Copies of this chain bind each other. A is one copy, B any other.
Amino acid sequence: ARPKVGYYYTGKNVRSMLTEQVGRIKVQDVQSVPVVVTAGTSAYDAVVTMFLEDVGSVFVVEPGGILIGVVSRKDVLKVAMGGSDLYKMPVKVLMTPMPKIIVTTPDEPVLTAAKKIIENEVDSLPVVVPASQQDNKALEIVGRLTKTNIARLFVDLGEGRGGEQL
């Protein structure tokens, strides 16, 4: 029997269809705008930025948007509890520096990126592309992928919205 228009029978089970189709959704389809500060910014101003932008971490960049570090709410809280003066401390001192940062790219499947978040126990990943210059290792930040992006995608997919690919 031919399937009705609008329905299809692929001979696959639900699990494999799900895997295949969710696998087509890329990081760039769900990513957010990155919030960045420069290396000389004080830890205090970095926290003010976190509150103003309502983000859990800010990325530290050099001119050209080159990613050099990341500072989280947790990092600052640890320093604040230790009694350090956040006004005088530059973010560079407390950031997690490159190349220790786990990154993702715009065309990576969001599923792979989500796995990196879970396995490395981080809240977000910077979305990067190679910087247009001689230095091969320099990465320019173009976005951020957070657990919120993933939770929102889960809700959208579960409600039958989102993921142009489905």
Chain A residues with a Cβ under 8 A of chain B: 1, 3-4, 6-9, 11-19, 21-23, 44, 47-48, 51, 54, 56, 73-74, 76-78, 80-81, 86, 111, 114-115, 117-118, 121, 147-148, 150-155, 157-160, 166
A164 CB, min distance to chain B CBs, angstroms? 12
A-B pairs, top 6 by smallest CB distance, nearest first, are A147-B147, A111-B158, A150-B151, A22-B158, A80-B80, A154-B154
Closest B residue, CB atoms, query A25: B158
Name the contact of A157 in the complex, choosing from B6, B18, B47 (C-beta under 8 A).
Answer: B18
Closest B residue, CB atoms, query A153: B154
Closest B residue, CB atoms, query A4: B11
On chain B, the residues within 8 Å of A6 by CB distance are 13
Number of copies: 2
Contact A166/B111 with A23-B158, A73-B77, A155-B118 known, Cβ cut-off 8 Å:
no
On chain B, the residues within 8 Å of A159 by CB distance are 19, 111, 115
A54 to B150, CA, bound (A): 20
Does B21 contact A111, Cβ atoms closer than 8 Å? no
Does B151 contact A47, Cβ atoms closer than 8 Å? no
Closest B residue, CB atoms, query A119: B155
Does A14 contact B13, Cβ atoms closer than 8 Å? no
Does A8 contact B19, Cβ atoms closer than 8 Å? no
On chain B, the residues within 8 Å of A8 by CB distance are 13
Q: List 29 A-B contacts (CB under 8 A).
A: A1-B1, A3-B11, A6-B13, A7-B11, A7-B12, A9-B11, A14-B17, A14-B21, A18-B166, A44-B81, A48-B81, A51-B74, A51-B78, A73-B77, A77-B77, A77-B80, A80-B81, A111-B154, A111-B158, A111-B159, A114-B154, A114-B155, A117-B151, A118-B148, A118-B151, A147-B150, A150-B151, A150-B154, A153-B154
